[in-house]
Amino acid sequence: METPFLQKTARAFYNKYGAEISKYCFVFPSRRAGLFFQKYLSAEIKQPIFSPKIETIESFYEQLGDKRVEDRLGLLFRLYKCYKQVVNKDETFDNFVWLGEVLLADFNDIDNHLVDAKKLFANANAMTEMTSDALTDEQRKAVSDFLRLTPKENNDEKLFQRNYFNLWSKLYDLYKAFGEDLQKDGLTYRGKQHSDIVEYLPKIPYEKVVFIGFSAMSKRDHKLFGELKRLGIADFYWDYESPLICDKANRASRFYVENVNQYPSEIHIAPNTTKPKVHCVAVPSNVGQVKYAYEILKKQQQVGLETAVVLSDEKLLVPMLYSIPEKDASERDIPINVTMSYPLKNSPVLKLLNDCIAMQRDYKKGEGFWFKQVLTILQHPQIQANFKGIAQEHI
């Protein structure tokens, strides 16, 4: 069996630097990669040493930042306040939330890619003026929905254009006011924090920062890597063992060429030579996919940390978990580590919450709750699983 890339990297660093690696910081694109690296490194260590710092790229930025990142809801309320002042439109917060989420994502992208916001919004505004008269009915409806226009505003051409231009022409002012409002309270948002760090790089508290396993990167990350390389405290390791990634006919190979040339590694890590085996099976349904995935797992001699099931759709997580029993045929526990997120909207908990809200909404003083709504809640799988005795007693 070939040695995993992270294990080879951990071994190479410990063999060369020994206990000195406690002065290093290892940065990974994800927390999972960092945990595996730590596991492999601990297996190599033969004597007690201080562990090196292991961070994700996001936590590394946060560690260098001097301002606190405001939470999502706090950002929305601040942006809403600035929006009312800059755009001068009296709109309820409920109606603004959707637009606010879009604006926060856009502002974050602008800072992550180190874009000149003033030039960007000036160009966008000029483009809007050129194309506004050529909007199709479908595009006009999309704009109307985006701006939350009333039927009167949408049908009146002058009112429509006024609302349309008003937002686009004020975007830079809104972006600037939002940043200033956060700054006066010593707060920031993630994208702004990262762009400030790469623009005014603070003192790095490590002897060396080692970046491992990155691929396609934003302009922000490129600038950070370049600055740390210029200071002589950065080292880089790229997981490009797949022949497909290095193949010039593959468009993704440009990341390989660019990264390896710009950010070379100080220690040579010998690549694996064995090509992976790929076996494709046609399965007609989503449930069939997870059922077949378990059949494959059953045939494995050992299912452990080197085994991963990658789902094509996050909705398949629950069916996949139900397909895997707690123990195998020989009564051994099957360890499962779920490392993906799962949207609340796909969770049975959301229906339970909606049922509880509906029951409370329909409550009538002096009459109580409607029995069918109570039964629906008592029969919910979450209630059955956690309060089985109580639920059964009241049904």
Q: How confident is the model at residue 272 (pLDDT cuts 50, 70, 90)?
A: confident
Mean pLDDT of 389-394: 54
pLDDT digits (tens, 9 = 90+) for 142-181: 555 545 555 554 554 455 455 556 667 788 899 999 999 9
Of 47 and 122, which is predicted with more confidence? 47
DSSP state of 88: -
**DSSP state letter for 301:** S
Residues 227, 122: contact at Cβ < 8 Å? no
- Whether the per-residue pLDDT at 130 is higher than 50: the answer is no
Model confidence band, residue 264 (pLDDT cutoffs 50, 70, 90): very high
Where does the pLDDT of residue 6 fall: very low under 50, low under 70, confident under 90, or very high at 90 and above? very high
Average pLDDT over residues 308-324: 80
3-state class of 235 per DSSP? strand
99, 148 contact by CB (below 8 A): yes
Instruction: Check residue 25 and give its pLDDT.
Output: 96
Report d(CA 261, CA 242) in Å as an integer: 18
Contact 253, 246 (CB under 8 A): yes
Say if CB 67 and CB 114 are below 8 A apart. Answer: no
pLDDT band at 204 (very low <50, low <70, confident <90, very high): very high
* pLDDT score for 150: 53
Measure Cα distances from 137 to 141, 166, 302 in Å: 6, 20, 59
Where do we find the tokens 């302009």? 219
Model-wide pTM > 0.85: no
Asked whether the beta carbons of 22 and 38 are under 8 A apart, the reply is: no
Tell me if residue 53 falls in helix, strand or coil.
strand
β-sheet bridge partners, residue 231: none
Beta bridge partners of 28: 56
pLDDT at 305: 67
Q: Quote the pLDDT of residue 26.
A: 97
Mean pLDDT of the chain: 81
Residue 56 has pLDDT above 60, yes or no: yes
Stretch among 43-57, 132-146, 302-316 having the lowest mean pLDDT: 132-146
Query: Above 60 in pLDDT, residue 89?
Result: yes
Q: pLDDT digit string (tens) for 335-373? A: 677 777 777 777 778 888 888 888 888 887 777 888 888
Tokens of 145: 């929905």
pLDDT of residue 300: 72
The helix-helix angle for 157-183 and 117-131 (nearest 10°) equals: 170
Q: What are phi and psi of 38, to 5 degrees?
A: -60, -40
Least confident interval from 71-75, 107-111, 132-136, 260-264 = 132-136
Q: Which of 97-111, 151-165, 235-249, 303-317 has the highest mean pLDDT?
A: 97-111
Q: What integer pLDDT is reported at residue 181 of this predicted model?
A: 94
* HEC profile of 170-230: HHHHHHHHHHHHHHCCCEECHHHHHHHHHHCCCCCCCCEEEEECCCCCCHHHHHHHHHHHH
Note the pLDDT of residue 140: 52
* The one-letter amino acid at 178: F
In the block, residue with structure tokens 């000029």: 126
pLDDT band at 14 (very low <50, low <70, confident <90, very high): very high
Alpha helices in the chain (DSSP H): 5-17, 31-44, 57-64, 72-87, 93-112, 117-131, 137-147, 151-155, 157-183, 190-199, 219-231, 243-246, 253-262, 286-299, 317-323, 348-361, 371-378, 381-386, 388-394
Q: What is the mean pLDDT of residues 52-70?
A: 91
For residue 224, what pLDDT band results from cuts at 50, 70 and 90?
A: very high
Question: Which of the pair, 96 or 330, is modelled with greater confidence?
Answer: 96
30 is written with which tokens? Answer: 């994800």
Residue environment code for 157-186, b if the CB has 16+ CB neighbours within 10 A, otherwise e: eeebeebbeebbbbbbebbebbbeebeeee
Mind listing the pLDDT tens digit for each residue in 37-51? 999 999 998 888 898
**Range in 22-36, 54-68, 155-169, 239-253 the model is least confident about:** 155-169
